[in-house]
Amino acid sequence: CVGGARREGARGRPGGRSKCGGRLGGGANPGRPVGFPTANIRLGEYTRPLRGVYAVRVGVDDGLSYDGVANLGMRPSFGGTEILLEVHLFDFEGDLYDRHLRVAFMHYLRAEKTFDGIEALKAQIAADATGARELLAAAPSNSRTAER
């Protein structure tokens, strides 16, 4: 994944807008078999927003932006040992490896939790994605939000 993520303007609490970014590299791809491929960013050592699930707006280095849902945390259902930002972009198909992303945390959805199995995790991710889409559809779209 990424070694040197950058972050700016964060307040680190629900309702406070935080942004971070980083260049993507190879990863374990745990999201693909679940049906929600993710771009994974290692955040490094600095103040982070609360761990949990967020509705996000993401700018890609080609100038395009996408809405999505993200998990910031340890990935307890996969035995994670480090904090990682996993971002699923809505309506995106393609390869993001070696691309630079800017992630804007728009809405805090819920705390991170451990699931009993993959089916329970898939159902919760689907519900989170639906909730994120609804919140982001109601929020004004400002292309500069994630791209700056």
User: Quick one: CA dihedral 143, 85, 93, 90, positive or negative?
Assistant: negative
**Distance of alpha carbon 86 from alpha carbon 112, whole angstroms:** 12
| Residue 39 pLDDT greater than 70, yes or no | yes
Q: What is the maximum alpha-carbon separation in the chain?
A: 39
> pTM for the whole thing?
0.73
Asked whether 22 and 5 are in contact (CB, 8 A), the reply is yes
What's the rounded mean pLDDT across residues 59-65? 91
Summarize pLDDT for 73-118 with one digit per residue, the tens. Answer: 888 777 777 888 889 999 998 888 888 888 999 999 999 999 999 9
